[in-house]
Structures are given as structure tokens and as C-alpha cells.
A and B are shown apart, each in its own frame.
Chain A
Amino acid sequence: DTGVSQNPRHKITKRGQNVTFRCDPISEHNRLYWYRQTLGQGPEFLTYFQNEAQLEKSRLLSDRFSAERPKGSFSTLEIQRTEQGDSAMYLCASSPRGTGGFNEQFFGPGTRLTVL
């Protein structure tokens, strides 16, 4: 399978703990995106990378959240001191470098986080 993969698929943690998620994009896709989705809502943008450079961060990305893409391939999203409001599906997407600013984004299956 050459699609976007995410690990773990599910994570249950206690409030105050740190969690880290991993995303492996489609090979040779140089753009990688993180989104968060809560029940009944559309995905909300968090941040994105072009290669290893983090180009944009949403205001949703508080200082407890940090994302990295150290070698321009896989990415990690860490949430420190988790809160119950962090419970959501965390989605990763990747896209090739498009022309004219248009980029088809392909999503992974997501990591469902539950904070108790």
C-alpha cells in the first residue's frame, strides 16, 4: 500500500500526559499537512510542511502542540500536557508539489486520540 499511513490508529491517554503521533506520507510527496477533526465537523487545518520546512501554523496549534519533519519524509505531531479538549481525530495528508498552487491532498486513516 503506497498511501499515507499514520500510527498509532488509536491512542487513549490520561489528562496531562504527552502523546506523539507519526505520519508517513506518500513517497516523493514533498508537502505534508496535519488536521484535526472532531465529531460531526470537517477537518481543521493545523500546520503544513514543504520538505522539512514548516511553512504555516494555524492559531489552533497552541504552544502545547509541536510538529516536526526532520528529514522531509515522515512527520511527528506531539501534544504535551494533554487536555480533554484535545480528544479528536488527527489526520495527516500529503501532496506533490503542484503547479499553479493547486495540490491534490491525499489523507491517511487518522489517529483517534481520547484523553480521559
Chain B
Amino acid sequence: GESVGLHLPTLSVQEGDNSIINCAYSNSASDYFIWYKQESGKGPQFIIDIRSNMDKRQGQRVTVLLNKTVKHLSLQIAATQPGDSAVYFCAENMGWMRFGAGTRLTVKP
């Protein structure tokens, strides 16, 4: 069936390095995606979104890239900080959000 999934369950980076979190989706009709950050014991926090008519969108220290040809989405975090340590989810807008399993990002000082 259709799914939204992530390539790696964990990612460890050094503080100050850039982080890249990847996501594959299978529904070619998907037209809107959101990246969420979830810290332990908290609800998902909206980071950035992108519509399918865009290839790239930038926020503060974050960039989302969308490759519709290979149905791939990525989140880039520049100059990763310890406060970025969390689980990151990509989600597909179905009217409600369909989430993947998540990638745990750990930032080493």
C-alpha cells in the first residue's frame, strides 16, 4: 500500500555540522508535505512545509527539498545544535496527516 517512510531510523551528528534527514513517499499524487520535530514527551512541532509545485523551501536554518521524480523529500538542518536533538517526521497531507515512523537525530557536543 501507499506509505510515507524514512530511510534511516537514527542519525548522529556533531554539533555545528549540517544534518540531512531523508524521507521517501509512494503516493505520486501527494501535493503537500510537512516536516515535524518531536521531543520526548511532547507533541509534534511544525518545522516547515512544502507544496508539490515547489522543489525547495527555506526557513530559519532548515531547508526542505522535494524531488517528485523519485518521490523523495529531505530536511536539511544547518549548523546543528544540541537543541535539535529529537525525532523528525515527514508527513503527507491527506486532509489529515499521514506520518512515517520517524528519524531520531542525536547531536553530539
- Interface residue? A48 (CB, 8 A): yes
Number of interface residues of B (CB under 8 A): 24
Q: A103 contacts which chain B residues (CB < 8 A)?
A: 93, 95
User: Within the assembled complex, what's the spacing in Å between the Cα atoms of A33 and B31?
Assistant: 20
CB-based A-B contact count at 8 angstroms: 63
Which of B94, B97, B98 has the most CB atoms of chain A within a 10 A radius of its CB? B97
User: Within the assembled complex, what's the spacing in Å between the Cα atoms of A24 and B57?
Assistant: 31
Which of A48, A56, A91, A101 is within 8 Å of B44, CB to CB?
A: A91
User: Within the assembled complex, what's the spacing in Å between the Cα atoms of A107 and B91?
Assistant: 13
Given A45-B96, A45-B98, A48-B95: A105 and B42 interface contact (C-beta under 8 Å): no
Q: A109 contacts which chain B residues (CB < 8 A)?
A: 41-43
Given A48-B95, A48-B96, A103-B93: A91 and B101 interface contact (C-beta under 8 Å): no
Scan A72-105; emit 1 where CB is below 8 A from any B CB, else 0.
Answer: 0000000000000000000101000000011111
Which of A55, A106, A108 is within 8 Å of B46, CB to CB?
A: A106
Segment 12-33 of B: residues with Cβ below 8 Å from A = 31-32
A42 near B99 (CB under 8 angstroms)? yes
B35 CB to nearest A CB, Å: 12
User: Within the assembled complex, what's the spacing in Å between the Cα atoms of A104 and B34?
Assistant: 8
B97 near A45 (CB under 8 angstroms)? yes
A40 near B101 (CB under 8 angstroms)? yes
User: Within the assembled complex, what's the spacing in Å between the Cα atoms of A110 and B34?
Assistant: 19
User: Within the assembled complex, what's the spacing in Å between the Cα atoms of A91 and B43?
Assistant: 7
